[in-house]
Amino acid sequence: MGHHDTIRPPLADWRFCASGDDLLDRTYRPEIPGYFSAHPDIAPYVDGPIDFTDAMRETAVFLFGEHGGLIFEWCAPGVYEAHIMLTREGRGAWGIAATKEALLKLGAEHVWARIMPGNRPLMMHASLCGFRKVELRTLHDGDEPVAYQIYEWRK
What residue ranges define each of the domains in the chain, with the CATH number in brackets? 17-154 (3.40.630.30)
pLDDT value of position 11: 35
Average pLDDT over residues 107-117: 93
Question: What is the rounded average pLDDT of the residues 127-137?
Answer: 96
Q: Is the dihedral of CA 45, 39, 132, 93 positive or negative?
A: positive
Of 25 and 143, which is predicted with more confidence? 25
Q: CB-based contacts of 98: which residues, under 8 Å, 6+ apart?
A: 23, 24, 63, 65, 67, 69, 70, 90
pLDDT at 20: 53
Alpha helices in 21-77 (DSSP H): 31-38, 43-46
Side-chain half-sphere CA neighbours of 71 within 13 A: 20
